[in-house]
Amino acid sequence: MNTGSNEPDKVAVASDGNEADGATADGARDERGLGSRAPGFIKARRVLHLSWQVGVFAVGLAVVAVGIVLLPLPGPGWVVIFGGMAIWATEFVWAQLVLRWTKRKVTEAAQKALDPKVRRRNITLTTVGLVIVAGLAGVYLSKFGVVMPWRIEE
């Protein structure tokens, strides 16, 4: 097994103090650092890195634009938009921060939705809403009855 070190029983350590697999010494998963994920040979050359960033921005912009078009159409609009943000996050710190914030908020919302108290409230509200809709449908049907579209009299 290659640990990334030439010495036996050693593990390669990243520059920020984390182990190479991204886990800290206590086994907890640490978030990756902010910044460009471009290969080293691209980062070493300023013009190449700038053109890399322009390319990543253009591809991310195209994906986000497709996602925006898909919002009113049938299709996974938000998923595509977040995919474009993930493309931008490979190169731009602002996109990484937005993506981290979004992930945090989605996780918080999922945890809140799984709370038994909130689930009971949501089930109660849904039941009350269905009872109201059924009551209104019953009133409508008792007043007008069921009329098929081909039997409408003018």
Q: Which residue would you say has higher pLDDT here, 50 or 32?
A: 50
pLDDT of residue 18: 43
Q: What is the pLDDT of residues 2-24, one digit of tens each?
A: 444 445 444 444 444 444 444 44
The whole-number pLDDT of residue 45 equals 77
Residue range 59-81: mean pLDDT, rounded: 90
> How far apart are alpha carbons 128 and 125 in whole angstroms?
5
Asked if 84 and 67 touch (Cβ cutoff 8 Å), the reply is yes
Confidence of residue 43 (pLDDT cuts 50, 70, 90): confident
| CA separation for the pair 102, 82 (Å, rounded) | 9
Distances from the Cα of 27 to the Cα of 30, 67, 105, angstroms: 9, 37, 24
pLDDT of residue 52: 82
What is the pTM for the complete model shown? 0.52
The pLDDT of residue 154 is 58
Are the C-beta atoms of 37 and 91 separated by less than 8 Å?
yes
Identify the bridge partners of residue 13 per DSSP, sorted by sequence position: 19
Most confident of 18-22, 25-29, 138-142: 138-142
- Mean pLDDT (the chain) is 77
Q: State the Cα angle at 109 between 105 and 115, rounded to 5°.
A: 145
Q: How does DSSP assign 92-128, residue by residue?
A: -HHHHHHHHHHHHHHHHHHHHHT-HHHHHHHHHHHHH
